[in-house]
Structure formats: structure tokens, C-alpha cells
Amino acid sequence: MLSFAIKRLGVAILVALTVSVITFSMIYLSGDPAMALAGEAATADDIANIREFYGYDRPILVQYLDWLFRALQGDFGQSHYLKTDVASVIFERLPTTMLLGACAISFALILSIPLGVISAIRPNSLIDRISLTIAVVGQAMPSFWFALTLMLWFGINWRLLPITGTSSWLNFIMPSIALGYYVTPGVMRLTRAGMLEVLASDYIRTARAKGLRPLRVLFKHALRNAILPVVSLAAVQFGFMLGGSIVIETIFAINGLGFLAWESIQRADLPMMQAIVLVLSVFYILLTFLADMINAFLDPRIRVT
């Protein structure tokens, strides 16, 4: 188990380094960063000053390593637009996005895993058909439209929930549902397919032949094996939510990382964008690592490979 964890961690670090190289090179994607910063009216001297001030005149490798070591210490430099410390802005926004993502993925899992299990136990039953409908509709419906519909009914017509802001936990209900609902179909269908396959397997027959009660067969013997791919999918989707909450955060005016990313792109605030991409990537990599660990805990066969 330990050697498996170390191997996985090694892979995760390599992936993170690769991402950091790509993130770093973002600066040079749109040409000379000093010239872009200086603006159209700048003289050659201004540009040279800026180049020197930000260190763009050094060899590229030195710039990368300098940037990387600062980033490792939580220093992502100064925002070009806000003129403040990038890290402090990001860590101010990050908890909001994490909370939203956690609520959304919890909502998705709590809804989709039980539905998937029930659909697998009673295939083609009424509940299976209903959840299939939910899945199809969920997959087909754009999340912004769903979010606006929720706002219209629960916020405006019935006045049950606040529409915008982050002042109380009530504010997170609609965004979480809007963000999480999109993940539900995939998780539900994967749970159903996994359970159907596992329930037909020989070791489930063995468990029943031992006289075990149906619930024990279902939860101890079946779900543990069926849930493995769901864990991986949920981790990927959670990471996807953190980065992809731009639309939802914008609609509900939630000051999270997604919203910040959107603003920074508009302002061409490169250090900020770099930092956001890097932070989200690292979270994504950590989540994948976590999913691997959970799967290794659940399935002993994974531990040895």
C-alpha cells in the first residue's frame, strides 16, 4: 500500500511539474509580456524598464525556476491590474469555490448513487425509468438555463431562497444544485451499470449462498466493488466543478475563483490567471491522487499494481 501511494504521489508531482511549465509559458503566449504591460504609448525605455523590473530580461530557465520556487512558497507575484498580492486574492476567493464545489458534488453523489443502486436492483422499474429521464434531461440541459430557471421559481416566484450573494448557507443551495445536477447523470448511470454487473457476478451468488441478508449482500459485497469507477469519476467531476464554476458563480454573483478567473481574463491579468490555473490544476491532481488512494483502499488488487 505504501509503495503504491509513493508511486502515485511521484506521478502526481510529475504531472504538477508539467502543468507548471505550461502555466509558466502562458506569459509568452501573447508575445513579449513587457510590451503588453507597457501599453501602446510606451517608449523603448519604458519597455526596457518594465522588462528589468519584472525580470523578463533574464534567461527563460532562470525565470521559470524563480517563478516556481516563489509559487511553492505561496508567492505568485503582483497582480498587474489590482496591484496587490496575487496569493492573498486567490486564497480569499478559494474557500468560496471549494465550498460551492463540495456542496455540489455532495448533492450529486447523494442523489445519484442511491438512485443508481435502486435502478440496478430493479431494472426497468418505475424508479429506473424516472432516473433515466432525470439523466437524459440533466445531460441535455445547459447549466446556465437550469440555474436561471431555479432562480425564477425558487427565488422570484416563490421567494424561498436568496438569489445572489454569499451571505448565508441558503445562498449556496441553488448554485450547488445547478452545478451538481450536471454531474448526476454520469454518476448515476455508472453506478447502475457497475451494480448490474457486480450483482450478476459469482461472488454475489456466493454471498447469498452463505445466507447473508440482502442488505449486507448489497452494501458489503456489491457496492464496494461497483463504486470503484464512480470514485474516479467523482474526483474528476469535482475538479471540473472547481474550474468550471465560472458560469454558475457569475449567474449567482458568487465571489469565487471562477468569477475571479473570468475577471482576470478580461483584464489580461496574467499573473492572476497563471496562479488560478496552477492552483486549480494542483487541486485536480490532488483529487485524482485521493481517488486512487480511496480505490486502493477499497480494492486490494489495485494496491499491488
Identify whether the C-beta of residue 101 lies closer than 8 Å to the C-beta of residue 107. no
Q: 88-94: which pairs have CB atoms within 8 A and are 24 or more residues apart?
A: 89/260, 89/272, 90/257, 90/260, 90/272, 90/275, 90/276, 90/279, 93/255, 93/256, 93/257, 93/259, 93/260, 94/256, 94/257, 94/279
To another protein, the closest distance from the beta carbon of 204 in angstroms equals 8
To another protein, the closest distance from the beta carbon of 301 in angstroms equals 5
To another protein, the closest distance from the beta carbon of 200 in angstroms equals 9
> 46 or 299: whose CB is closer to another protein?
299
Binding region for another protein (CB under 8 A) = 201-203, 205-213, 220-221, 224-225, 298-301, 304
> 15 or 298: whose CB is closer to another protein?
298
To another protein, the closest distance from the beta carbon of 257 in angstroms equals 37
User: Going along 119-200, which residue ranges are E strands?
Assistant: none
To another protein, the closest distance from the beta carbon of 127 in angstroms equals 17
From the CB of residue 89, how many other CB atoms can be counted at a distance below 10 Å? 20
> 51 or 221: whose CB is closer to another protein?
221
Question: Tell me, what amino acid is at 50?
Answer: I
> 7 or 213: whose CB is closer to another protein?
213
To another protein, the closest distance from the beta carbon of 131 in angstroms equals 20
To another protein, the closest distance from the beta carbon of 210 in angstroms equals 4
To another protein, the closest distance from the beta carbon of 227 in angstroms equals 10
Q: How far apart are the first and last CA of the chain?
A: 10
Nearest to 204 by CA among 217, 215, 192: 217
Instruction: Report how far apart, in Å, the C-alpha atoms of 273 and of each of 39, 189, 247, 281 are.
Output: 19, 35, 17, 12
> 132 or 298: whose CB is closer to another protein?
298
> 139 or 206: whose CB is closer to another protein?
206
Which DSSP state fits 28?
A: G
Give the torsion sign (CA, 123, 126, 129, 133): negative
> 169 or 203: whose CB is closer to another protein?
203
Which DSSP state fits 74?
A: T
270: its cell numbers: 496574467
> 161 or 212: whose CB is closer to another protein?
212
215: its cell numbers: 442488505
